[in-house]
Structure 1
């Protein structure tokens, strides 16, 4: 038999920058160090391996096919949701409802209709257009990386460089602790703007949403323009990956492109080699080179966490696999500078938490090979292992955060996500479709764990985050987690009230009401973000609907649940 000839793999003779410029690549010594052009322009010097005989344009065609698949999946899911007939919670248990997004959607479709497509008049319907010549300081230098036909907030005359610096400091202080994507010692306003106006504009958009509401809509428009430019011109660099990720964290309610943006960012991250595992860094690596390398690694870890989080929330399969870099990420926070950063501890901790959650979810849903020949899954054994891992996770990362001298927010943040993960995984052991007489002790353990952890999730949001004044800065994930916790508690009241502790009903109502009050306060502190206001109304709506179905009078509601006066007059979502 004639053997097919294997493609020959060889090192490229020019880096990506020189190849794009069609110029000779000098001084790189086959990729051992940056070439002269990259050193002069302070660019990443990347040598990509290529194969003889590769079909022309195959990479581009694969990326295009992936985007088309993502868009097709989004449209199909949206059309399916619109055509589904609403069902009542008493219709019986369905396995897909174990995933938070589907449980929330089934519990109250009108909430997501309101959240995703608000019909109220936005406070930003009128666009503020700066008058020409209104401020001489608006005529700022144009970064060389900004293409013709596109503007960033400074060249558009929206903000000055001084105001951009103030906003950037606020972003690093208030928003970055929730996403842990940036290194304040590396990412200054000037550095980010010179590297990538798309990322700079996206961050200015997020900053204006919370701190300069009058400029938010204009910055949002610029960010969308640069996102389209990034797609059309196939920009590929780490800052573009970060920008697409940031487009999803504090997005508008009607924007449903999260899955597409994260998918595009994940694919680009792999193509850029951000997941390269460096076991032994070069001995002559400077502090600046160290920060840039860890910036690449941190970006991939945050994407991995976001990817697995989306998979857990929606039930879709994850996009980034566990590779060598991810498997060694448990000590990543220790491989930086001499002092460990709290943000890096959070990133390393969450990567391990997502690994445990994804592994257990795959086992519980039958995706893994840990089932018998008939596809039976031993839920009790899987949950025993998962709960042990989660307990060990908290012990480990609480200790690591103490070593890094973490602040109260960091410990509450770690606990918030660990408790929610435990709630989600143990929900697979709650057999609410099985008669109480046939329920096992394992069911009771899972039920009590879910009750305890759901209450704790809501209390951290309503007490810890509220007292620290950070609730309004949390991304959409925190809202989904509190919504899922509230819905799950109310479902336990409907199906398993006799198995809950005494006084559980009033405690549940009170805790949900306090969470609604906390979100209402956050909405007043950040009037640009409508998410907090909608979420406060949604939580009140849950109490209202549950009491109506349970036949509890509204007079009793007022006696059992002590609502803040500001919430008592809020309209209820129907």
Structure 2
């Protein structure tokens, strides 16, 4: 039997140089094929025969030749044997010389390694620990883009189905209700904030794939069209979320369910920010923050599953209404426009608005940093000018060219509100800078032209413009029950600012403010589905703000505008209130935060309130209600008490929206 291995078997035992250096298993059928590791990591796959065993092969050949010679010598004559013995000595001397040459070559190679300066250096790959990311190699801390995550081992979803059934199984809703509510969700809620794919996430698919996601969709929809079942559905969803955390479930559906419950949460839910942080960690574990390799798969379902993961991660950039720290890097979503335009053949209604929302969120974050760093230097205004230019580019691209992106009415309404809110912040910044560093302590006089009065009037106009967007775009179109939470935040900011500064306005602007806030108060009352939704809370806030005004302001708001005739004879308008000696302008965010935390109202006996009133702010002595049922605190006419900005019963709600 030959000692030389077969051709196929010999190549199966040879590893490439890269795998040999890394001491990894080289998976390849032969030496003419690139191995799997080099193909995956883009390494140069080079083969070279092993040098070990060469001396043994020479020795074996020599012994074979000597045995053959000795065998033939025994069969020959003595003369031939003597001749052959001479030749054998020559062959043995030649074999010994070959062995000495081989030993000398081996010693020279060893000396070259010991003294690299005398001979050409051998090239070796540097090896690192698994913590150091190597280009072209994998690392458990820095996974390669486009690589799907390892399947997460954990308990089965059957735990959730057994321990806590969905709302349909519990009998709170029928299966016909569930299909109807899924259709309503995708036509109204998911269009507003695109989280799920209507092709993938059917009612049947969600119920089989994730009872938590199935229950979450039913819960947020029941809040609008089945308010009587909302509390029971919310209880089921919260239990399923708790069990998912307890059992350590980690899936895209769990992340999406928490996202759905967060965007359309209960108004007094104080856990949404913490749940969102848990979901973000879960999404990072699932590597949703990594963009998959392009191009997308040709199979439509596979392509939609890829986009479903990426869309889920992009939605976590939309937590713009929290002034709390973020867990997401702002720089990992620079491909938004490209991402939206790359798959027109795989539409998901509503995802088009994600790009302008995230860009708006970044500008708001920049404004907050600028506001914190204001020091009176001229560079503050240069930074403000840069932000203003960015805002105008944003508005031109997304609002003035909205036909190019086929925005729906819900999207246009939300973008207009974002536009008005950022415009208000820019005007407020300029007003704050002027009041602090350029007015020289002079009081505000809106009857005299000045830089301060111009900035104030401009800020008031923009605040009223935001409330007009609230009325025309959201109220009239019926978007309030499922609108984005930023709608309520923007309305609260501008409403508080207008009431806080109404004493510095002239007669015309004062009437505009009172009429606009009255319309908004009535609209939110009509749009409310229950006593604890955001429309109801906003209604009570606006009613409370209007109730804190003096009768002088309320009567002046009913008078006709200047130039349209004299006021009615029965109305005797009192003289206007005196202006404060010195007017200062804090930011709207500061106004809200400063007056959220009141002294505990439970320290003193509770006063008796008139029916229908929200109650005075803590620390204010109540007085009898006027004819309109408003509680009027004692004080100088025209002066807004600083501790009645929010109804006492609703303080906790606004703390959630404006945390310190």
Q: Secondary structure at the match of 2:473?
A: helix
Unaligned stretches of 5+ residues in structure 2: 1-126, 562-610, 617-660
**Shift of the alpha carbon at 1:31?**
11
C-alpha distance in 1 between matches for 2:280 and 2:157: 27
**Shift of the alpha carbon at 1:244?**
1.5
Q: 1:179 to 1:145 in 2, by over 3 A?
A: farther
Q: 1:7 to 1:538 in 2, by over 3 A?
A: closer
Query: Could you tell me the TM-score, scaled by structure 2's length?
Result: 0.58
Q: 1:529 to 1:257 in 2, by over 3 A?
A: same
Give 1:116's aligned residue: none
C-alpha distance in 2 between matches for 1:218 and 1:529: 15
Asked whether the equivalents of residues 181 and 221 of structure 2 are also in contact (C-alpha less than 8 Å), the reply is yes
**Shift of the alpha carbon at 1:168?**
0.8
Q: 1:376 to 1:159 in 2, by over 3 A?
A: same
Give 1:510's aligned residue: 515
Q: Secondary structure at the match of 1:430?
A: helix
C-alpha distance in 1 between matches for 2:161 and 2:349: 37
Asked whether the equivalents of residues 153 and 222 of structure 1 are also in contact (C-alpha less than 8 Å), the reply is yes
Give 2:131's aligned residue: 7
C-alpha distance in 2 between matches for 1:31 and 1:492: 53
**Shift of the alpha carbon at 1:453?**
2.6
User: Residues 398-429 of structure 1: CA distance to partner in whole angstroms, max 9, x if unpaired?
Assistant: 35531233333322221111211222343233
Match for residue 192 of structure 1 among 195, 206, 209: 206
Give 2:393's aligned residue: 392
Q: 1:362 to 1:289 in 2, by over 3 A?
A: farther
> What is the 5 A alignment of 1:382-531?
382-398=383-399, 401-431=402-432, 432=435, 437=442, 447-494=456-503, 496-497=504-505, 503-523=508-528, 526-527=529-530, 530-531=533-534
Give 1:355's aligned residue: 362
Match for residue 219 of structure 1 among 233, 247, 260: 233
Q: 1:506 to 1:291 in 2, by over 3 A?
A: same
Q: Which has the higher helix share?
A: 1
Asked whether the equivalents of residues 364 and 377 of structure 1 are also in contact (C-alpha less than 8 Å), the reply is no
Q: 1:408 to 1:474 in 2, by over 3 A?
A: closer
> What is the 5 A alignment of 1:121-520?
146-278=160-292, 280-282=294-296, 284-306=297-319, 308-310=320-322, 314=323, 316-324=324-332, 326-338=333-345, 343-366=350-373, 378-398=379-399, 401-431=402-432, 432=435, 437=442, 447-494=456-503, 496-497=504-505, 503-520=508-525
**Shift of the alpha carbon at 1:490?**
2.2
Q: Secondary structure at the match of 1:239?
A: helix
C-alpha distance in 1 between matches for 2:299 and 2:477: 37
Q: 1:174 to 1:560 in 2, by over 3 A?
A: farther
Q: Secondary structure at the match of 1:420?
A: helix
Q: Secondary structure at the match of 2:208?
A: helix
User: Residues 141-174 of structure 1: CA distance to partner in whole angstroms, max 9, x if unpaired?
Assistant: x985844312111222222222101011111122
**Shift of the alpha carbon at 1:448?**
4.4
Asked whether the equivalents of residues 458 and 515 of structure 1 are also in contact (C-alpha less than 8 Å), the reply is yes
Q: Secondary structure at the match of 2:537?
A: helix
**Shift of the alpha carbon at 1:250?**
2.9
Asked whether the equivalents of residues 294 and 336 of structure 1 are also in contact (C-alpha less than 8 Å), the reply is no
C-alpha distance in 2 between matches for 1:483 and 1:540: 12
C-alpha distance in 2 between matches for 1:193 and 1:341: 21
Q: Secondary structure at the match of 2:399?
A: helix
Judge which range, 170-179 or 213-222, deviates more: 170-179
C-alpha distance in 2 between matches for 1:375 and 1:556: 38
Instruction: Indicate yes or no: 2:555 matched with 1:541.
Output: no
**Shift of the alpha carbon at 1:450?**
3.0
How many correspondences in the alignment? Answer: 426
Unaligned stretches of 5+ residues in structure 1: 14-29, 34-44, 50-141, 562-568
Asked whether the equivalents of residues 217 and 260 of structure 2 are also in contact (C-alpha less than 8 Å), the reply is yes
C-alpha distance in 2 between matches for 1:32 and 1:475: 32
C-alpha distance in 2 between matches for 1:520 and 1:397: 32
Which runs of at least 4 in structure 1 moved beyond 6 Å after TM superposition? 30-33, 438-442
Q: Secondary structure at the match of 1:309?
A: coil
Choose between structure 1 and 2 for higher RCO, CA contacts under 8 A separated by at least 6 residues: 1
Q: 1:220 to 1:377 in 2, by over 3 A?
A: farther
Q: 1:146 to 1:230 in 2, by over 3 A?
A: closer
Asked whether the equivalents of residues 145 and 293 of structure 2 are also in contact (C-alpha less than 8 Å), the reply is no
C-alpha distance in 2 between matches for 1:225 and 1:539: 35
Q: Secondary structure at the match of 1:405?
A: coil
Higher alpha-carbon Rg: 2
C-alpha distance in 1 between matches for 2:450 and 2:326: 33
Q: 1:415 to 1:234 in 2, by over 3 A?
A: same
User: Residues 435-487 of structure 1: CA distance to partner in whole angstroms, max 9, x if unpaired?
Assistant: 66489977666544432332122112122212211212224432121111111
**Shift of the alpha carbon at 1:331?**
2.8
C-alpha distance in 1 between matches for 2:452 and 2:539: 32
RMSD between superposed Cα atoms in Å: 3.6
